[in-house]
Structure 1
Amino acid sequence: MYKIIADKLFNGEKTLEDRVILFDERGIHHVGSDVKEMVKETFRAKFLTPGFIDLISGIGLKEESLGKVEGNDLDEATNPQTPELVALDGINPYDEAFPKAVRGGVTKSLVLPGISNSIGGRGSVVFNFGNNILEMLIKSPFGMRFSVNTEPKETYMKQKKMPVTRMGNAYLIRDALFKAQEYKKNKKKFSLFEESLQGVLDKKDKAFFSSFRADDITTSLRISDEFKLDTVIAHGFEGDLVIDEIKKRNVPVAFGPIILAKETPELRHLSVQVPAKLIEGGVTVALVSGHPYYPAEFLRLQVGLLIREGVERDRALKTITSVPATILGVEEFGRVKEGSKCDLVLFNGVPWETKSQVEKVFIKGKEAYSRRLPM
């Protein structure tokens, strides 16, 4: 058993002062005032939070410090419809980005295939710490990546095949979903293609629609309505322009990365004001890194930008803790409470400030990072 004495604890819902936490590898056993209990070691934290969760990431699929071929398994850009793919089969657990993410307090990621294909494939939820991918695995497959943006057009225009327009892209998504519906009614012969889409059609899995522009967001919403999908809008850089449509469907937005160079027209509206407006308008928002386009290690700094824009501090911290945990269906990982198996991050200051440092990280009750020790 270990003890943490925290000056402040953000428990996934609100910030509390002067709390003591007892935990081990089985989970969290006590959250409250100090108790007399034999412990192996006691730690102190200025600020204690749940481990941060990155809801949209390519970590392990597109590795750091490697070239365009070796270490890049993000996009299977040979066929625009690839629902059969599973991120777990491409993740390299020895990607240098994993320990860096943990150093930044990011302990879990939803790793999704890239956005080059109209349907990119299924994701995997993993711990960012472990000796191998089986040890890191939380659940897989989870989440189907749909891409409603310019990327599929640009990818397949070079190959002179569909899609080269937004119409063609939407058609390919509908075509696959219709085929999967018909397959369900009359399964004469097993097909991994159609079988892979059954989870989203049955609402047992979530559909992640990667859309930047407002018109692409509404296309994603229309397709979701047609097939009654449980949808998350990924990125959503013009989401504030269609906030009413998002809100009335109760669709969450996995927004980000906020810190991104505006290299394409799709990014021209991107600003920190957009997620702030979405939150103010009643939309459920999680902040994401979109790693490697923004390093997962610095996910928490985006929270500081939200706070700067007037978002209440606890509400901002929820965007990388309890909100993504709920979307992923792993609520216990987003809240520090008795009985949960939440990871723990100890800070020497407030988490959203650049001068604050992560002192220690505990994942599954084990020390995964210590600032006093080499990585």
Structure 2
Amino acid sequence: MTESTMVFTNATVLPIDGDRIDNGVVIVRDGKIDAVGGADTPIPAGASVQDLGGKWIVPGLIDAHVHLGTSEEGEGWAGNDTNELTDPVTSHVRALDAINPADIGFSDAIAAGVLAVNVNPGSGNPIGGQTVAIKCAGRTVDEMAMRTPSGVKSALGENPKRVYGEQKKTPSTRLGTAAVIRGAFVDALNYEAKLANASEDKPVDRDLKLEALLKVLKREIPWRQHCHRADDIATAMRIADEFGYELVLDHGTEAHLLADIVAEKGIPVIIGPLIVSRSKVEVRNRSVANPGKLDKAGVTIAITTDHPVVPIGNLIHQAALSVKEGLDRDAAMRALTINPATIMGVADRIGSLTAGKDADFCVWSGDPLDLYSRVEVAYIEGSEIYRHED
């Protein structure tokens, strides 16, 4: 990237790592945030200066649980690569290998201010595969990727017991699903022991499934646990305590019922999707009031669309509705920026307008939590990637 400096003045700046700045200034140099401050911030000589007339500068929004690029919109079965439903344990498969950057969902994301996502395999298997943190623009997924793997997806509850119960295979029950997960971790520990005792005379064949699980057990990457019901959330915490890995609760529809325990253990919850019908038993307590309940209990939350379950463009609207039902508005913005960035392990690069981070941000016409506001321009690493034209 060629050396360049851009300055945005007279902006309403939402840095996330600090208070809102009215009549603020943002300086971008060589694709990075160089400085953020008030109207008295010195402007470098020779910089390109834009007066925003009070419009808002907001870090790129982040959805930490989507299927963008793996469940392509308008492509039917040919574009659906979300679940490898041929084995209950598929920890070796990678979302990275199925993402199509040409999925129209990426364009929708950028137009709605969502500049980064975590793409997960689906929830049909007890252990579904490896997740990847990516930016929403690029010709190849390798160019878009920030962290791979960024976790391993696992599922409790209705989905795996339905998938394998219909095949007359284990697991067909909740207890069977938990047993499959525990057994896989024991296999990984046994594999680790074999590796420790390996020699030239006694080599150990590589096992991609168990290698991925060892990354979890060594706390190199988090365990991304799909769970809705309170009893499944309790099972998720029980197994995490047994094996000592870093747990993230995905969906957490009934996490508010155990909020004190979740908060005490320091487990983040990626909550959502929030504006869907109660399509199955385990989401009957779905409510846009739940994010506020978790936040008040001291739980770190991020908000997800689970795209394409809720179209990615409605991420900000889910947050706005949660604010309407009691979520603190600053907490709502953290749940769309720095919290998901932290969960994904990329907070050193994105999630706030902090000097040294990537210049990934949007210019909004007004308050992003206002339904009538829209993204006017989007930047990734200081390069304009979108401009709204009427």
The counterpart of 2:331, out of the listed 311, 315, 321, is 315
The counterpart of 1:30, out of the listed 29, 32, 35, is 35
- Where does residue 274 of structure 1 map in the other structure? 290
What percent identity do the matched residue pairs reach? Answer: 34
Q: Do structure 1's residue 173 and structure 2's residue 189 form an aligned pair?
A: no
SS at match of 1:155: helix
The counterpart of 1:142, out of the listed 147, 150, 158, is 150
Q: Once the two structures are superposed, what CA deviation does each residue of 1:124-172 show, in whole Å capped at 9, x if it has no partner?
A: 1111011222221112111110101100011112211011100100000
- Where does residue 15 of structure 1 map in the other structure? 20
SS at match of 2:317: helix
- Where does residue 50 of structure 1 map in the other structure? 59
SS at match of 2:78: coil
Q: Do structure 1's residue 66 and structure 2's residue 82 form an aligned pair?
A: no
SS at match of 2:267: coil
Question: How far does residue 192 in structure 1 lie from its aligned partner after superposition?
Answer: 1.2
SS at match of 1:131: coil
CA change 1:247–1:275 in 2 (3 A) is: same
The counterpart of 2:223, out of the listed 199, 207, 223, is 207
Q: Do 2:118 and 2:133's aligned partners in 1 also have CA atoms closer than 8 Å?
A: yes
The counterpart of 1:159, out of the listed 136, 159, 167, is 167
Q: Do structure 1's residue 240 and structure 2's residue 256 form an aligned pair?
A: yes
Question: How far does residue 3 in structure 1 lie from its aligned partner after superposition?
Answer: 1.7
Q: Do structure 1's residue 369 and structure 2's residue 376 form an aligned pair?
A: no
Which residue type is aligned with residue 163 of structure 1?
Answer: P
Q: Using the alignment, how far apart are the partners of 2:323 and 2:209 within structure 1?
A: 43
SS at match of 2:350: helix
Q: Once the two structures are superposed, what CA deviation does each residue of 1:74-96 show, in whole Å capped at 9, x if it has no partner?
A: 00111111000110000011000
Q: Using the alignment, how far apart are the partners of 1:92 and 1:24 within structure 2?
A: 31
The counterpart of 1:249, out of the listed 242, 265, 289, is 265
Which residue type is aligned with residue 83 of structure 2?
Answer: D
- Where does residue 88 of structure 1 map in the other structure? 96
Please show how residues 271-350 of structure 1 align to structure 2 within 5 Å. Answer: 271-331=287-347, 332-350=349-367
Question: How far does residue 24 in structure 1 lie from its aligned partner after superposition?
Answer: 3.6
Q: Once the two structures are superposed, what CA deviation does each residue of 1:96-126 show, in whole Å capped at 9, x if it has no partner?
A: 0001100000000100100000000000111
Q: Using the alignment, how far apart are the partners of 1:85 and 1:353 within structure 2?
A: 40
Which residue type is aligned with residue 295 of structure 1?
Answer: P
- Where does residue 102 of structure 1 map in the other structure? 110
- Where does residue 352 of structure 1 map in the other structure? 369
Q: Once the two structures are superposed, what CA deviation does each residue of 1:347-370 show, in whole Å capped at 9, x if it has no partner?
A: 111101211110111011110110
Q: Do 1:6 and 1:48's aligned partners in 2 also have CA atoms closer than 8 Å?
A: no
The counterpart of 2:194, out of the listed 166, 169, 186, is 186
Q: Using the alignment, how far apart are the partners of 1:199 and 1:15 within structure 2?
A: 39
SS at match of 1:333: coil
Which residue type is aligned with residue 370 of structure 2?
Answer: E
Q: Using the alignment, how far apart are the partners of 2:359 and 2:33 within structure 1?
A: 7
Q: Using the alignment, how far apart are the partners of 2:224 and 2:51 within structure 1?
A: 39
Question: How far does residue 324 in structure 1 lie from its aligned partner after superposition?
Answer: 0.9
Q: Using the alignment, how far apart are the partners of 1:30 and 1:104 within structure 2?
A: 25
Q: Which deviates more from structure 2 when the two are superposed, residues 135-144 or residues 249-258?
A: 135-144
| TM-score (ref. length: structure 1) | 0.96
Question: How far does residue 43 in structure 1 lie from its aligned partner after superposition?
Answer: 5.0
CA change 1:160–1:43 in 2 (3 A) is: farther
Q: Do structure 1's residue 4 and structure 2's residue 11 form an aligned pair?
A: no
Q: Do 2:150 and 2:345's aligned partners in 1 also have CA atoms closer than 8 Å?
A: no
Q: Once the two structures are superposed, what CA deviation does each residue of 1:282-303 show, in whole Å capped at 9, x if it has no partner?
A: 0000001101101112211111
CA change 1:190–1:335 in 2 (3 A) is: same
Q: Using the alignment, how far apart are the partners of 1:312 and 1:156 within structure 2?
A: 41
Q: Using the alignment, how far apart are the partners of 1:71 and 1:236 within structure 2?
A: 28
How many pairs does the alignment contain? 372
Q: Using the alignment, how far apart are the partners of 2:179 and 2:140 within structure 1?
A: 39
SS at match of 1:183: helix
- Where does residue 200 of structure 2 map in the other structure? none
Which residue type is aligned with residue 33 of structure 2?
Answer: I
Alignment RMSD = 1.3
Runs of at least 5 residues in structure 2 that lack an aligned partner in the other structure: 196-203
Question: How far does residue 328 in structure 1 lie from its aligned partner after superposition?
Answer: 1.6
Question: How far does residue 17 in structure 1 lie from its aligned partner after superposition?
Answer: 1.6
Question: How far does residue 39 in structure 1 lie from its aligned partner after superposition?
Answer: 2.3
Q: Using the alignment, how far apart are the partners of 1:208 and 1:247 within structure 2?
A: 17
